[in-house]
Chains A and B, each alone.
Chain A
Amino acid sequence: MTGHDPFDATPDVALGRLLREHLDAGDDAQFLARLRSAITAERSTSWDVLAGWARPGLVAAATIVIGLSLWLSAQRNADIPTLADAIQPTGAPTRILAGAQETQSDVVLVSWMEEQ
């Protein structure tokens, strides 16, 4: 002991052993078992949280997709030109336009006769 140089750059084995023994908790296995449980619990909790977030998220996303599909579908139908829209610029008779969905020959004939 007395032969130790305080500036010695190598560890003091005797002092080190005393310190280790003094500070050792002695139940590392139990501590590690508790730590592993805590990590496992935290991991499963994280997944639960993610799953908890995911469920309402999926419902919201599905609702948005369905709503958007319906809206787009409605928009598309509204944008499809009817026969009336298609022939209006040509100056076709109003009667024809009114009955564009069911173009009956007598209506066309009457209309032509009126113009004559």
Chain B
Amino acid sequence: MTDVTDAELARQAAGGDTEAFGQLAERYTPAARRLARLFLRDPDDADDAVQDGLLSAWRALDRFDLRRPFRPWLLRIVLNAARDLRRRRVVRRTEPVPETQASRIAGPDRETERTLLRTRLDAALATLPERQRLAVTMFDAEGYPHAEIAALLGVPEGTVRSDVFHARRALRKELAPFLEEVP
């Protein structure tokens, strides 16, 4: 089932096949949740936005052009849901992204180091303009091409390259000790 293309799954899902849509959601939920967390900086809000976005996508599947790539379409809907949710929230305390499963099972030294890394990474990301945060994450963490990021963010490709460049420079400066440790 894993080699079924997005377009084929989308076609089946548009016909009402919830299992096909479940497979599409399984493919893109991790990335969608990371982007929503980056955008909203609140894990609960991020999950609400991703769920809203995925449900909207499910409802709108009959209007999806099967000749176009599915991932940018889906992520654009999720980002729009995140924007809507942020508009609805008046003031909400920003909470740090919770620790990952890996960090919970690490030893005390490793845990301290991870806590420090999280703090530094949060601080470093907070200094970046939102578009740079999204651009560098989509490019370096998700591996999306510049053109796709540009389409998602609604900016020229050159702007994405520039955003990635500035964001990388800032993040590398803040995270240099941690980055050197990464094997």
Contacts and interface: CB of A to CB of B under 8 A. Distances in A.
B51 A34 contact: yes
A39 B157 CA distance: 35
A23 B125 CA distance: 11
20 contacts: A9-B146, A11-B139, A14-B182, A15-B140, A15-B168, A15-B172, A15-B175, A18-B117, A19-B34, A20-B34, A20-B142, A22-B121, A23-B33, A25-B98, A31-B33, A32-B25, A32-B26, A35-B55, A36-B22, A42-B58
A6 B168 contact: yes
Interface of A: 1, 4, 6-7, 9, 11-28, 31-32, 34-36, 38-40, 42-43
B150 to A, nearest CB: 14
Given A24-B33, A31-B29, 10 more contacts: A11-B140, A12-B140, A18-B121, A19-B34, A20-B141, A20-B142, A31-B50, A35-B25, A38-B55, A42-B55
Given A7-B165, A23-B137, A24-B30, A16 B143 contact: yes
A27 B142 CA distance: 18
B79 interface: no
A11 B97 contact: no
A96 B25 CA distance: 87
Nearest to B37: A23
A18 B116 CA distance: 13
What are the nearest 10 A-B pairs in CB distance? A16-B140, A23-B34, A19-B141, A26-B101, A14-B182, A16-B141, A20-B141, A1-B179, A12-B140, A11-B140
